[in-house]
Structure 1
Amino acid sequence: MATILIIEDDGAIHSLIKEALTLQRFKTISAYSGTEGKLLYEQNPVDIILLDLMLPGMDGEELLREIRNDSTIPVIVISAKNDQASKLELLMNGADDYITKPFDVKELIARINIQLRHAAKVLHNETEEVRYKDIRVNMDTREVKIIDEVIHLTGREYAILLLLLENPQKVFSRANIYESVWNEPFFDSDQTINMHISNLRRKMNAQGANYIKTIWGIGFKFD
Protein backbone atom coordinates (compact mmCIF):
# COMPACT_ATOMS: atom_id res chain seq x y z
CA MET A 1 0.00 0.00 0.00
CA ALA A 2 1.49 3.33 -1.08
CA THR A 3 1.71 6.17 1.42
CA ILE A 4 0.93 9.66 0.15
CA LEU A 5 1.75 12.88 1.97
CA ILE A 6 -0.88 15.58 1.26
CA ILE A 7 0.39 19.11 1.90
CA GLU A 8 -2.61 21.41 1.32
CA ASP A 9 -3.95 24.17 3.59
CA ASP A 10 -7.43 24.44 2.04
CA GLY A 11 -9.58 22.19 4.24
CA ALA A 12 -12.19 21.38 1.60
CA ILE A 13 -9.64 20.46 -1.07
CA HIS A 14 -7.58 18.52 1.44
CA SER A 15 -10.61 16.49 2.54
CA LEU A 16 -11.59 15.82 -1.08
CA ILE A 17 -8.13 14.48 -1.92
CA LYS A 18 -7.87 12.44 1.28
CA GLU A 19 -11.28 10.82 0.76
CA ALA A 20 -10.53 9.96 -2.87
CA LEU A 21 -7.17 8.42 -1.98
CA THR A 22 -8.66 6.45 0.90
CA LEU A 23 -11.27 4.97 -1.45
CA GLN A 24 -8.39 3.85 -3.66
CA ARG A 25 -6.81 2.14 -0.62
CA PHE A 26 -3.89 4.55 -0.32
CA LYS A 27 -2.54 5.44 3.10
CA THR A 28 -2.46 9.21 3.61
CA ILE A 29 -0.59 11.61 5.88
CA SER A 30 -1.97 15.14 6.22
CA ALA A 31 -0.12 18.44 6.54
CA TYR A 32 -1.73 21.88 6.40
CA SER A 33 1.39 24.07 6.21
CA GLY A 34 4.78 23.91 4.57
CA THR A 35 6.53 23.67 7.92
CA GLU A 36 4.33 20.79 9.04
CA GLY A 37 4.79 19.11 5.66
CA LYS A 38 8.58 19.27 5.96
CA LEU A 39 8.45 17.77 9.46
CA LEU A 40 6.14 14.91 8.43
CA TYR A 41 8.22 14.21 5.31
CA GLU A 42 11.34 13.91 7.44
CA GLN A 43 9.66 11.67 10.02
CA ASN A 44 7.70 9.30 7.75
CA PRO A 45 8.58 7.09 4.78
CA VAL A 46 6.26 8.21 1.96
CA ASP A 47 5.95 7.19 -1.69
CA ILE A 48 4.54 10.39 -3.22
CA ILE A 49 4.03 13.97 -2.08
CA LEU A 50 1.08 16.10 -3.24
CA LEU A 51 2.21 19.68 -2.77
CA ASP A 52 0.25 22.92 -2.82
CA LEU A 53 2.28 26.09 -3.42
CA MET A 54 0.47 28.79 -1.45
CA LEU A 55 1.06 27.49 2.07
CA PRO A 56 1.37 29.16 5.46
CA GLY A 57 4.83 29.02 6.99
CA MET A 58 7.24 27.62 4.43
CA ASP A 59 5.75 27.98 0.94
CA GLY A 60 5.52 25.09 -1.50
CA GLU A 61 8.36 26.22 -3.76
CA GLU A 62 10.79 26.49 -0.86
CA LEU A 63 9.69 23.10 0.46
CA LEU A 64 10.20 21.55 -2.97
CA ARG A 65 13.80 22.82 -2.98
CA GLU A 66 14.33 21.36 0.51
CA ILE A 67 13.01 17.96 -0.60
CA ARG A 68 15.19 17.92 -3.72
CA ASN A 69 18.30 18.55 -1.66
CA ASP A 70 18.29 14.93 -0.52
CA SER A 71 15.53 12.97 -2.26
CA THR A 72 14.13 11.93 -5.64
CA ILE A 73 10.71 11.05 -4.19
CA PRO A 74 7.96 11.89 -6.73
CA VAL A 75 6.32 15.27 -6.08
CA ILE A 76 3.08 16.27 -7.81
CA VAL A 77 2.40 20.00 -7.49
CA ILE A 78 -1.26 21.02 -7.17
CA SER A 79 -1.70 24.73 -7.73
CA ALA A 80 -4.05 27.42 -9.01
CA LYS A 81 -1.19 28.82 -11.10
CA ASN A 82 -1.95 27.82 -14.66
CA ASP A 83 0.49 29.81 -16.80
CA GLN A 84 3.09 27.90 -18.79
CA ALA A 85 6.04 29.79 -17.27
CA SER A 86 5.07 28.79 -13.73
CA LYS A 87 4.66 25.15 -14.72
CA LEU A 88 8.02 25.01 -16.46
CA GLU A 89 9.75 26.69 -13.54
CA LEU A 90 8.30 24.18 -11.07
CA LEU A 91 9.32 21.26 -13.28
CA MET A 92 12.83 22.67 -13.59
CA ASN A 93 13.01 23.02 -9.82
CA GLY A 94 12.20 19.39 -9.25
CA ALA A 95 8.47 18.72 -9.55
CA ASP A 96 7.67 15.45 -11.31
CA ASP A 97 4.18 16.50 -12.38
CA TYR A 98 1.84 19.49 -12.17
CA ILE A 99 -1.93 19.62 -11.96
CA THR A 100 -3.96 22.84 -11.99
CA LYS A 101 -6.83 23.71 -9.64
CA PRO A 102 -9.69 23.08 -10.05
CA PHE A 103 -8.86 19.50 -11.00
CA ASP A 104 -10.64 16.25 -11.70
CA VAL A 105 -10.02 13.73 -8.91
CA LYS A 106 -9.87 10.88 -11.44
CA GLU A 107 -7.08 12.67 -13.28
CA LEU A 108 -5.17 13.15 -10.03
CA ILE A 109 -5.50 9.44 -9.22
CA ALA A 110 -4.30 8.56 -12.72
CA ARG A 111 -1.24 10.80 -12.35
CA ILE A 112 -0.44 9.26 -8.97
CA ASN A 113 -0.66 5.75 -10.44
CA ILE A 114 1.65 6.75 -13.29
CA GLN A 115 4.25 7.87 -10.76
CA LEU A 116 3.88 4.63 -8.79
CA ARG A 117 4.15 2.46 -11.92
CA HIS A 118 7.26 4.31 -12.99
CA ALA A 119 8.87 3.92 -9.56
CA ALA A 120 8.02 0.19 -9.57
CA LYS A 121 9.44 -0.22 -13.06
CA VAL A 122 12.73 1.38 -12.06
CA LEU A 123 12.88 -0.81 -8.95
CA HIS A 124 12.12 -3.99 -10.89
CA ASN A 125 14.83 -3.35 -13.45
CA GLU A 126 17.50 -2.25 -11.03
CA THR A 127 20.93 -3.83 -10.69
CA GLU A 128 23.53 -2.99 -8.08
CA GLU A 129 25.35 -0.31 -10.04
CA VAL A 130 25.49 1.13 -13.55
CA ARG A 131 28.73 2.73 -14.74
CA TYR A 132 29.62 4.76 -17.79
CA LYS A 133 32.98 6.52 -17.97
CA ASP A 134 32.98 8.96 -15.01
CA ILE A 135 29.34 8.29 -14.08
CA ARG A 136 28.23 5.81 -11.42
CA VAL A 137 24.61 5.14 -10.53
CA ASN A 138 23.79 3.16 -7.39
CA MET A 139 20.54 1.43 -8.23
CA ASP A 140 19.70 0.68 -4.60
CA THR A 141 19.97 4.25 -3.33
CA ARG A 142 19.44 5.99 -6.72
CA GLU A 143 22.56 8.03 -5.96
CA VAL A 144 24.29 9.46 -9.02
CA LYS A 145 28.00 10.34 -8.85
CA ILE A 146 30.22 11.99 -11.44
CA ILE A 147 33.93 11.75 -10.58
CA ASP A 148 32.90 10.89 -6.99
CA GLU A 149 30.74 14.03 -6.70
CA VAL A 150 27.04 13.43 -5.98
CA ILE A 151 24.59 15.24 -8.26
CA HIS A 152 20.99 15.66 -7.12
CA LEU A 153 18.38 14.76 -9.74
CA THR A 154 14.61 14.84 -9.79
CA GLY A 155 12.74 11.61 -10.41
CA ARG A 156 12.23 12.46 -14.09
CA GLU A 157 15.86 13.49 -14.58
CA TYR A 158 17.05 10.27 -12.96
CA ALA A 159 14.79 8.17 -15.20
CA ILE A 160 15.93 10.00 -18.36
CA LEU A 161 19.59 9.61 -17.38
CA LEU A 162 19.11 5.89 -16.75
CA LEU A 163 17.31 5.41 -20.06
CA LEU A 164 20.13 7.09 -22.00
CA LEU A 165 22.88 5.55 -19.87
CA GLU A 166 21.67 1.98 -20.40
CA ASN A 167 21.41 2.54 -24.17
CA PRO A 168 24.56 4.44 -25.18
CA GLN A 169 24.73 5.45 -28.84
CA LYS A 170 20.99 4.83 -29.32
CA VAL A 171 19.10 7.92 -30.48
CA PHE A 172 15.85 8.60 -28.62
CA SER A 173 13.20 10.91 -30.02
CA ARG A 174 11.33 13.19 -27.64
CA ALA A 175 8.31 10.90 -27.99
CA ASN A 176 10.49 7.85 -27.13
CA ILE A 177 11.73 9.54 -23.97
CA TYR A 178 8.30 10.75 -22.92
CA GLU A 179 6.60 7.38 -23.40
CA SER A 180 9.44 5.51 -21.63
CA VAL A 181 9.74 7.87 -18.65
CA TRP A 182 6.18 9.14 -18.23
CA ASN A 183 4.77 5.71 -19.17
CA GLU A 184 1.93 7.24 -21.18
CA PRO A 185 1.36 8.23 -24.83
CA PHE A 186 3.25 11.30 -25.99
CA PHE A 187 0.83 14.22 -26.17
CA ASP A 188 2.86 17.07 -24.69
CA SER A 189 4.86 19.72 -26.53
CA ASP A 190 8.61 19.34 -27.02
CA GLN A 191 9.13 21.92 -24.26
CA THR A 192 8.68 19.40 -21.46
CA ILE A 193 11.42 17.06 -22.74
CA ASN A 194 13.69 19.93 -23.73
CA MET A 195 13.39 21.45 -20.27
CA HIS A 196 14.23 18.19 -18.48
CA ILE A 197 17.17 17.47 -20.81
CA SER A 198 18.46 21.03 -20.33
CA ASN A 199 18.27 20.75 -16.56
CA LEU A 200 19.96 17.34 -16.58
CA ARG A 201 22.72 18.62 -18.84
CA ARG A 202 23.34 21.63 -16.60
CA LYS A 203 23.80 19.43 -13.53
CA MET A 204 26.07 16.98 -15.38
CA ASN A 205 28.09 19.65 -17.15
CA ALA A 206 28.87 21.28 -13.80
CA GLN A 207 30.91 18.15 -13.06
CA GLY A 208 32.49 17.99 -16.53
CA ALA A 209 30.26 15.22 -17.94
CA ASN A 210 29.07 16.49 -21.31
CA TYR A 211 27.66 13.20 -22.62
CA ILE A 212 24.13 14.04 -23.79
CA LYS A 213 24.23 14.90 -27.48
CA THR A 214 21.48 16.51 -29.54
CA ILE A 215 20.82 14.88 -32.89
CA TRP A 216 19.12 17.74 -34.68
CA GLY A 217 15.69 16.93 -36.03
CA ILE A 218 15.66 13.51 -34.34
CA GLY A 219 16.32 13.62 -30.60
CA PHE A 220 19.06 12.81 -28.10
CA LYS A 221 21.65 10.15 -27.37
CA PHE A 222 24.31 9.37 -24.78
CA ASP A 223 27.81 9.54 -26.24
Structure 2
Amino acid sequence: MNREHILIVEDDVDINNLLAKTLKKREYKVTQAFSGSEAGLQLSISEFDIILLDLMLPGITGEELIANVRQQKQIPIIVISAKTSLEDKVKVLNIGADDYVTKPFESEEILARVNSHIRRYKKFGDKQKENKVHKFKNLSLYEDARQVKVNGQEIYLTGHEFDILCILLKNPDKVYSRESLYEQVWKNGYYGEDNSVNVHVSNIRKKIKSIEKDEEYIKTVWGIGFKLNNK
Protein backbone atom coordinates (compact mmCIF):
# COMPACT_ATOMS: atom_id res chain seq x y z
CA MET A 1 0.00 0.00 0.00
CA ASN A 2 1.38 3.38 -0.98
CA ARG A 3 1.56 5.90 1.82
CA GLU A 4 3.69 8.54 0.11
CA HIS A 5 2.25 11.99 0.75
CA ILE A 6 1.59 14.12 -2.35
CA LEU A 7 0.80 17.84 -2.36
CA ILE A 8 -1.34 19.01 -5.30
CA VAL A 9 -1.16 22.77 -5.90
CA GLU A 10 -3.70 23.81 -8.54
CA ASP A 11 -6.27 26.62 -8.41
CA ASP A 12 -8.60 24.98 -10.95
CA VAL A 13 -10.92 22.92 -8.73
CA ASP A 14 -11.80 20.38 -11.44
CA ILE A 15 -8.16 19.68 -12.33
CA ASN A 16 -7.12 19.52 -8.68
CA ASN A 17 -9.91 17.05 -7.90
CA LEU A 18 -9.08 14.96 -10.97
CA LEU A 19 -5.45 14.64 -9.91
CA ALA A 20 -6.46 13.85 -6.33
CA LYS A 21 -8.91 11.16 -7.48
CA THR A 22 -6.32 9.56 -9.77
CA LEU A 23 -3.68 9.40 -7.03
CA LYS A 24 -6.06 8.24 -4.29
CA LYS A 25 -7.11 5.33 -6.51
CA ARG A 26 -3.48 4.19 -6.34
CA GLU A 27 -3.59 4.62 -2.54
CA TYR A 28 -1.36 7.68 -2.30
CA LYS A 29 -2.02 10.09 0.53
CA VAL A 30 -3.09 13.42 -0.97
CA THR A 31 -3.32 16.98 0.30
CA GLN A 32 -4.92 19.60 -1.97
CA ALA A 33 -4.01 23.30 -2.07
CA PHE A 34 -5.73 25.84 -4.29
CA SER A 35 -3.29 28.76 -4.04
CA GLY A 36 0.42 29.32 -3.62
CA SER A 37 -0.14 30.75 -0.15
CA GLU A 38 -2.12 27.70 0.95
CA ALA A 39 0.62 25.45 -0.42
CA GLY A 40 3.24 27.37 1.56
CA LEU A 41 1.19 26.82 4.71
CA GLN A 42 0.82 23.11 4.03
CA LEU A 43 4.57 22.77 3.45
CA SER A 44 5.25 24.44 6.80
CA ILE A 45 3.09 22.01 8.76
CA SER A 46 3.43 18.68 6.91
CA GLU A 47 6.06 16.58 5.17
CA PHE A 48 5.52 15.61 1.54
CA ASP A 49 7.20 13.16 -0.80
CA ILE A 50 6.34 14.97 -4.05
CA ILE A 51 4.63 18.17 -5.25
CA LEU A 52 2.40 18.56 -8.32
CA LEU A 53 2.44 22.26 -9.10
CA ASP A 54 0.63 24.69 -11.37
CA LEU A 55 2.49 27.93 -12.14
CA MET A 56 -0.28 30.51 -12.49
CA LEU A 57 -1.58 30.61 -8.93
CA PRO A 58 -3.24 33.23 -6.74
CA GLY A 59 -1.04 34.53 -3.94
CA ILE A 60 2.45 33.06 -4.26
CA THR A 61 3.23 32.02 -7.85
CA GLY A 62 4.44 28.56 -8.77
CA GLU A 63 7.88 29.91 -9.62
CA GLU A 64 8.15 31.59 -6.22
CA LEU A 65 7.04 28.41 -4.49
CA ILE A 66 9.70 26.35 -6.27
CA ALA A 67 12.41 28.80 -5.21
CA ASN A 68 11.18 28.74 -1.60
CA VAL A 69 11.09 24.95 -1.47
CA ARG A 70 14.57 24.59 -2.96
CA GLN A 71 16.05 26.76 -0.20
CA GLN A 72 14.97 24.16 2.34
CA LYS A 73 14.09 20.76 0.89
CA GLN A 74 14.84 18.25 -1.83
CA ILE A 75 11.25 17.29 -2.67
CA PRO A 76 10.55 16.21 -6.26
CA ILE A 77 8.48 18.90 -8.01
CA ILE A 78 6.47 18.14 -11.14
CA VAL A 79 5.13 21.27 -12.82
CA ILE A 80 1.81 20.91 -14.63
CA SER A 81 1.17 24.08 -16.61
CA ALA A 82 -0.64 25.58 -19.57
CA LYS A 83 2.58 27.44 -20.44
CA THR A 84 4.09 25.58 -23.37
CA SER A 85 7.02 27.68 -24.57
CA LEU A 86 10.59 26.40 -24.34
CA GLU A 87 11.53 29.59 -22.48
CA ASP A 88 9.00 28.85 -19.74
CA LYS A 89 10.15 25.25 -19.41
CA VAL A 90 13.83 26.17 -19.21
CA LYS A 91 13.13 28.90 -16.67
CA VAL A 92 11.25 26.54 -14.38
CA LEU A 93 13.90 23.81 -14.65
CA ASN A 94 16.56 26.40 -13.85
CA ILE A 95 14.68 27.42 -10.71
CA GLY A 96 14.62 23.82 -9.51
CA ALA A 97 11.67 21.84 -10.87
CA ASP A 98 12.31 18.17 -11.62
CA ASP A 99 9.80 17.68 -14.41
CA TYR A 100 7.40 19.64 -16.63
CA VAL A 101 4.09 18.49 -18.08
CA THR A 102 1.94 20.71 -20.28
CA LYS A 103 -1.86 20.94 -20.16
CA PRO A 104 -3.99 19.25 -21.30
CA PHE A 105 -2.55 16.03 -19.91
CA GLU A 106 -3.48 12.40 -19.54
CA SER A 107 -3.98 11.17 -15.97
CA GLU A 108 -1.98 8.02 -16.65
CA GLU A 109 1.03 10.08 -17.74
CA ILE A 110 0.93 12.08 -14.51
CA LEU A 111 0.67 8.88 -12.49
CA ALA A 112 3.61 7.34 -14.35
CA ARG A 113 5.76 10.41 -13.72
CA VAL A 114 4.79 10.47 -10.03
CA ASN A 115 5.69 6.79 -9.68
CA SER A 116 9.01 7.36 -11.46
CA HIS A 117 10.10 10.27 -9.27
CA ILE A 118 9.03 8.57 -6.05
CA ARG A 119 11.03 5.46 -7.00
CA ARG A 120 14.03 7.66 -7.71
CA TYR A 121 13.89 9.46 -4.37
CA LYS A 122 12.80 6.56 -2.21
CA LYS A 123 14.98 3.84 -3.71
CA PHE A 124 17.48 3.84 -0.88
CA GLY A 125 15.24 5.26 1.86
CA ASP A 126 16.70 7.68 4.33
CA LYS A 127 19.76 5.65 5.27
CA GLN A 128 23.14 7.13 4.56
CA LYS A 129 25.64 4.36 3.81
CA GLU A 130 29.15 5.68 4.13
CA ASN A 131 30.54 3.04 1.74
CA LYS A 132 28.90 4.89 -1.17
CA VAL A 133 30.43 8.34 -0.85
CA HIS A 134 31.96 9.89 -3.96
CA LYS A 135 34.39 12.75 -3.33
CA PHE A 136 35.92 15.25 -5.70
CA LYS A 137 37.85 18.31 -4.51
CA ASN A 138 35.66 19.82 -1.78
CA LEU A 139 32.49 18.05 -2.90
CA SER A 140 31.03 14.88 -1.34
CA LEU A 141 28.12 12.98 -2.88
CA TYR A 142 26.32 10.44 -0.69
CA GLU A 143 24.78 8.11 -3.23
CA ASP A 144 22.36 6.20 -0.99
CA ALA A 145 21.18 9.26 0.92
CA ARG A 146 21.00 11.32 -2.32
CA GLN A 147 22.81 14.13 -0.55
CA VAL A 148 25.54 16.49 -1.80
CA LYS A 149 27.81 18.68 0.30
CA VAL A 150 30.34 21.30 -0.76
CA ASN A 151 32.81 22.38 1.93
CA GLY A 152 30.53 20.68 4.44
CA GLN A 153 27.45 22.66 3.35
CA GLU A 154 24.58 20.79 1.76
CA ILE A 155 23.32 21.85 -1.66
CA TYR A 156 19.91 20.79 -2.86
CA LEU A 157 19.80 19.13 -6.27
CA THR A 158 16.80 17.91 -8.22
CA GLY A 159 16.62 14.21 -9.02
CA HIS A 160 18.03 14.59 -12.53
CA GLU A 161 20.77 16.98 -11.36
CA PHE A 162 21.83 14.48 -8.70
CA ASP A 163 21.94 11.61 -11.19
CA ILE A 164 24.05 13.57 -13.69
CA LEU A 165 26.55 14.58 -11.01
CA CYS A 166 26.71 11.02 -9.68
CA ILE A 167 27.51 9.66 -13.15
CA LEU A 168 30.31 12.19 -13.61
CA LEU A 169 31.78 11.51 -10.16
CA LYS A 170 31.88 7.76 -10.68
CA ASN A 171 34.17 8.20 -13.70
CA PRO A 172 36.07 11.47 -13.16
CA ASP A 173 38.32 11.02 -16.20
CA LYS A 174 35.59 10.11 -18.66
CA VAL A 175 33.95 12.54 -21.09
CA TYR A 176 30.19 11.98 -21.33
CA SER A 177 28.28 13.08 -24.39
CA ARG A 178 24.96 14.86 -23.92
CA GLU A 179 23.31 11.89 -25.63
CA SER A 180 24.82 9.43 -23.16
CA LEU A 181 23.84 11.48 -20.10
CA TYR A 182 20.32 11.98 -21.42
CA GLU A 183 19.80 8.27 -22.10
CA GLN A 184 21.19 7.23 -18.69
CA VAL A 185 19.25 9.78 -16.65
CA TRP A 186 15.98 10.09 -18.55
CA LYS A 187 15.97 6.41 -19.57
CA ASN A 188 14.82 7.00 -23.13
CA GLY A 189 16.24 7.78 -26.54
CA TYR A 190 17.99 11.03 -27.37
CA TYR A 191 16.80 12.80 -30.51
CA GLY A 192 19.25 15.69 -30.59
CA GLU A 193 16.72 18.42 -29.82
CA ASP A 194 16.42 18.38 -26.05
CA ASN A 195 18.30 21.04 -24.09
CA SER A 196 17.65 19.32 -20.74
CA VAL A 197 21.23 18.13 -20.14
CA ASN A 198 22.70 21.62 -20.69
CA VAL A 199 20.10 23.19 -18.37
CA HIS A 200 20.71 20.67 -15.59
CA VAL A 201 24.51 20.91 -15.81
CA SER A 202 24.20 24.70 -15.65
CA ASN A 203 22.04 24.36 -12.53
CA ILE A 204 24.59 22.06 -10.87
CA ARG A 205 27.39 24.55 -11.58
CA LYS A 206 25.40 27.44 -10.12
CA LYS A 207 24.57 25.53 -6.95
CA ILE A 208 28.20 24.48 -6.42
CA LYS A 209 29.41 28.03 -7.11
CA SER A 210 27.03 29.41 -4.48
CA ILE A 211 29.48 27.87 -1.98
CA GLU A 212 32.70 27.24 -3.95
CA LYS A 213 33.03 30.43 -6.00
CA ASP A 214 36.59 30.08 -7.29
CA GLU A 215 36.67 26.43 -8.33
CA GLU A 216 35.26 24.91 -11.53
CA TYR A 217 33.94 21.39 -11.02
CA ILE A 218 32.39 20.46 -14.36
CA LYS A 219 34.22 21.07 -17.62
CA THR A 220 32.55 21.46 -21.02
CA VAL A 221 34.33 19.48 -23.71
CA TRP A 222 33.26 21.39 -26.80
CA GLY A 223 31.56 19.33 -29.45
CA ILE A 224 31.28 16.31 -27.15
CA GLY A 225 29.79 16.91 -23.71
CA PHE A 226 30.93 17.12 -20.09
CA LYS A 227 33.47 15.75 -17.62
CA LEU A 228 34.83 16.63 -14.24
CA ASN A 229 37.44 19.39 -14.27
CA ASN A 230 40.17 17.41 -12.57
CA LYS A 231 43.04 19.77 -13.34
Same fold? TM cut 0.5: yes
More deviation, 153-162/137-146: 137-146
Conservation of the 8 A alpha-carbon contact between 2:120 and 2:159: no
Aligned twin of 2:134: 130
Which runs of 5 or more structure 2 residues have no equivalent in the other structure? none
Q: Distance in 2 between matches of 1:188 and 1:120?
A: 31
Conservation of the 8 A alpha-carbon contact between 2:127 and 2:144: no
Per-residue CA distance 1:131-170 (angstroms, 9 max, x = gap): 2221123456544322234433333222221221122112
Per-residue CA distance 1:16-63 (angstroms, 9 max, x = gap): 111111122222111111111112122222111001111122111111
Q: Distance in 2 between matches of 1:175 and 1:22?
A: 37
Change (3 A) 1:113 1:187: farther
Change (3 A) 1:188 1:11: farther
Question: How far is 1:124 from its partner?
Answer: 9.5
Question: How far is 1:106 from its partner?
Answer: 1.4
More deviation, 39-48/67-76: 39-48
Conservation of the 8 A alpha-carbon contact between 1:137 and 1:143: yes
Paired residues, number: 223
Aligned twin of 1:103: 105
Aligned twin of 1:202: 206
Question: How far is 1:130 from its partner?
Answer: 3.0
More deviation, 63-72/177-186: 177-186
Conservation of the 8 A alpha-carbon contact between 1:114 and 1:182: no
Aligned twin of 2:165: 161
Question: How far is 1:98 from its partner?
Answer: 0.6
Quick one: which amino acid aligns to residue 66 of structure 1? N
More deviation, 129-138/181-190: 181-190
Change (3 A) 1:184 1:71: farther
Q: Distance in 2 between matches of 1:150 and 1:126?
A: 14
Alignment of 1:177 onto 2:181: yes
Match of 2:58, SS? coil
Per-residue CA distance 1:196-223 (angstroms, 9 max, x = gap): 1112122323413312122222221123
TM-score normalised by L of structure 2: 0.86
Conservation of the 8 A alpha-carbon contact between 1:134 and 1:209: no
Match of residue 212, structure 1, among 206, 215, 218: 218
Question: How far is 1:71 from its partner?
Answer: 1.2
Conservation of the 8 A alpha-carbon contact between 1:172 and 1:219: yes
Identity of aligned residues (%): 44
Change (3 A) 1:126 1:176: farther
Alignment of 1:24 onto 2:29: no
